[in-house]
Amino acid sequence: MSLPTVLILCTGNSCRSHMAEGILRAAAGDLIDVRSAGSKPAGYVHPKAIAVLDEIGIDISHHTSKHMDEFLNQDVRTVITVCGNADQACPVFPGQVNRHHWGFEDPAHAIGNDDEILAVFRRVRDEIRLVFEAYAAGLREGRVS
């Protein structure tokens, strides 16, 4: 029996959605198949997103930026959007049962020196971690889908 798919969407699929994918996979990957995609994929995963997840022991260095259309013919049970643009552009997927929107600031737009930009990536990572680990805990308790 295959695991239900949770698809995390963002516009560029370079930062937030990959951080959320990595965190949710680490927290609930035995219960769900976690994927991410974008409505206008950037074509890469931001190196700072990779770095700040590595700091918490999660490796997303193998992730690739994908278009959400790649998942239109798959059985996606839950769609979670992490930015406003993706929420507006998100199609309804065949078989989709649940849809959630939890918006986060885009750290790719952070300005400042390297330390200041990394601080924004870390803050957004920590915000994503709080939400997605709570979601995973709800899955484990059977209270969310």
CA torsion sign for 132, 137, 140, 144 is negative
Tens-place pLDDT, residues 81-93: 898 665 565 566 6
pLDDT at position 86: 55
Catalytic site includes residue 15: no
Tens-place pLDDT, residues 66-77: 999 999 888 889
Catalytic residue among 90, 124, 136, 139: 90
Catalytic site includes residue 90: yes
Fold (CATH) for 5-140: Rossmann fold (3.40.50)
Catalytic residue among 10, 26, 50, 53: 10
- CA distance linking residue 33 with residue 30, whole number of Å: 8
The model carries a pTM of 0.92
Domain positions in the chain: 5-140
